[in-house]
């Protein structure tokens, strides 16, 4: 029996083991607010040297978090890519060379600490700013994240608009660093 053309099929439901499934008929609930906040956010998303919107690699093993942050960033003018493990993050970062990486520190296969160390050790990716995201905001984690090579530390859960502000701040700092490093001192060859 055919489904009448005026009826839409039921939305697909995804669930991890031990979690409640939630119907996904449209964008993540945070995306609704994203449009409004994106209009109020301080300035437009900075553009990469290619003239395209900056690319943000969102690394989190929790699908809902990846989806929420990605959608919010897209509504705020960024392009996004996603990875769910530390190993996948290394592959994506090397292949895509994103402008910034949002790295959950508790990941399967290879944790975010080690993935960040490897990214910062590689000549091809060491310039990419990394924002550590973690639900374990214990004293000392921020310092440990910086020692691993993270450029900033954000405790989860965080409001997506706060994350966008941090991403813009780091991209601006990184862009200013690149401009400063290109300027030669007077008389230098």
Is 162 or 22 the better-scoring residue by pLDDT?
162
- Which tens digits make up the pLDDT trace of 53-96? 999 999 999 999 999 999 999 999 999 999 999 999 999 999 99
Domain locations in the chain? 47-181
| pTM of the shown model | 0.70
C-alpha closest to that of 67 among 24, 38, 131: 24
Per-residue pLDDT at 47 exceeds 80: no
Q: Which contacts (CB < 8 Å, 24+ apart) does range 180-186 have?
A: none
Q: Which residues of 20-42 are buried (b: 16+ CB within 10 A; e: fewer)?
A: eeeeeeebbebbeebeebbeebe
Per-residue pLDDT at 52 exceeds 50: yes
Architecture of domain 47-181: 3-Layer(aba) Sandwich (3.40)
Give pLDDT, residue 153: 86
Torsion angle of alpha carbons 74, 79, 83, 89, nearest 10°? -140
Task: Determine the straight-line distance between the first and last CA of the chain, rounded to whole angstroms.
Answer: 78
Q: Are 124 and 94 in contact (CB under 8 A)?
A: yes
Share of the chain above pLDDT 70, in %: 61
Q: Are 124 and 101 in contact (CB under 8 A)?
A: no
Cis before 165? omega within 30:
no
Give pLDDT, residue 15: 43
Average pLDDT value for the chain: 76
Give pLDDT, residue 182: 55
Q: What is the mean pLDDT of residues 131-156?
A: 75
Give pLDDT, residue 126: 94
Q: Any alpha helices (H) in 12-149, and if so which ranges?
A: 29-40, 63-75, 86-96, 112-121, 141-148
């Amino acid at each position: 029996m055919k489904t009448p053309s005026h009826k839409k099929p039921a939305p697909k439901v995804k669930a991890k083991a031990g979690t409640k499934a939630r119907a996904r008929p449209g964008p993540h609930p945070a995306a609704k607010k994203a449009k409004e906040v994106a209009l109020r956010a301080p300035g437009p998303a900075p553009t990469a040297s290619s003239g395209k919107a900056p690319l943000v690699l969102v690394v989190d093993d929790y699908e809902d978090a990846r989806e929420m942050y990605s959608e919010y960033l897209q509504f705020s003018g960024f392009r996004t890519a996603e990875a769910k493990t530390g190993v996948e993050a290394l592959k994506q970062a090397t292949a895509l060379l994103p402008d910034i990486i949002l790295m959950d520190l508790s990941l399967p296969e290879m944790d975010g600490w080690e993935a960040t160390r490897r990214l910062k050790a590689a000549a091809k990716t060491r310039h990419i700013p990394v924002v550590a995201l973690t639900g374990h905001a214990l004293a000392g984690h921020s310092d440990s994240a910086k020692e691993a090579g993270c450029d900033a530390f954000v405790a989860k859960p965080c409001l997506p608009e706060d994350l966008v502000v941090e991403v813009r701040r780091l991209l601006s700092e990184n862009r200013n660093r690149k401009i400063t490093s290109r300027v030669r001192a007077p008389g230098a060859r």
